[in-house]
Structure 1
Amino acid sequence: MRSGPIRPVPLILGVGLLVAVWVAPLSMWLGSAFAGHMLRHMTLVALAAPLLIIGWPWVARALALHPIAAAALEFAVVWGWHLPRAHGLAYRADAGFVAEQASFLLVGLLVWAGCLRASHPLAGAGGLLLTSMHMTLLGALLILAPRDLYSAWCGLLPNLSGQQLGGMLMLGIGTPVYLVAGLWLTSRAVNEKETAA
Structure 2
Amino acid sequence: MSPALSRHGPLAAGLALLLFLWAGPLVGRAETSFAAHMILHMGLVAVAAPILAFGLTRSVPALGARISPRFAILAALAEFVLVWSWHAPALHDAARRETWVLVIEQASFLTAGLLVWTAAFGTAEGARGARAAGVAALLMTSMHMTLLGALLLFAPRPLYACGDLCSPLSILTPLEDQQLGGVLMLIVGGSAYLVGGLSLLARLLNEKRDAQVPA
**Gap runs ≥5 in structure 2:** none
**Gap runs ≥5 in structure 1:** none
Aligned to 1:43: 43
Q: Is the contact made by 2:121 and 2:134 (CA closer than 8 Å) also made in structure 1? A: yes
Quick check: 137-146 or 15-24, which moved more? 15-24
Q: Is the contact made by 1:67 and 1:111 (CA closer than 8 Å) also made in structure 2? A: yes
Quick check: 143-152 or 131-140, which moved more? 143-152
Aligned to 2:183: 168
Q: Is the contact made by 1:64 and 1:110 (CA closer than 8 Å) also made in structure 2? A: no
| C-alpha spacing 1:74/1:146, structure 2 compared with 1 (3 Å) | same
Counterpart selection for 1:155 from 152, 165, 168: 165
Distance in 1 (CA, whole Å) between partners of 2:195 and 2:81 is: 22
Q: Secondary structure at the match of 2:156?
A: coil
Based on CA coordinates, which of the two structures has the bigger radius of gyration?
2
C-alpha offsets along residues 146-185 of structure 1, whole Å, 9 cap, x if unaligned?
1111134883356111111111111111111111111111
Distance in 1 (CA, whole Å) between partners of 2:35 and 2:149 is: 12
Q: Is the contact made by 1:148 and 1:159 (CA closer than 8 Å) also made in structure 2? A: yes
| C-alpha spacing 1:110/1:91, structure 2 compared with 1 (3 Å) | same
| 1:108-187 map, 5 Å | 108-118=113-123, 119=126, 120-152=130-162, 155-156=165-166, 157=168, 159-187=174-202
| 1:29-108 map, 5 Å | 33-57=33-57, 58=60, 61=63, 64=67, 66-108=71-113
Question: What is the CA-CA distance between 1:26 and the residue it aligns to?
Answer: 3.2
Amino acid at match of 1:33: S
Identity %: 47
Q: Name the count of aligned residue pairs.
A: 194
Question: What is the CA-CA distance between 1:194 and the residue it aligns to?
Answer: 2.0
RMSD: 2.7
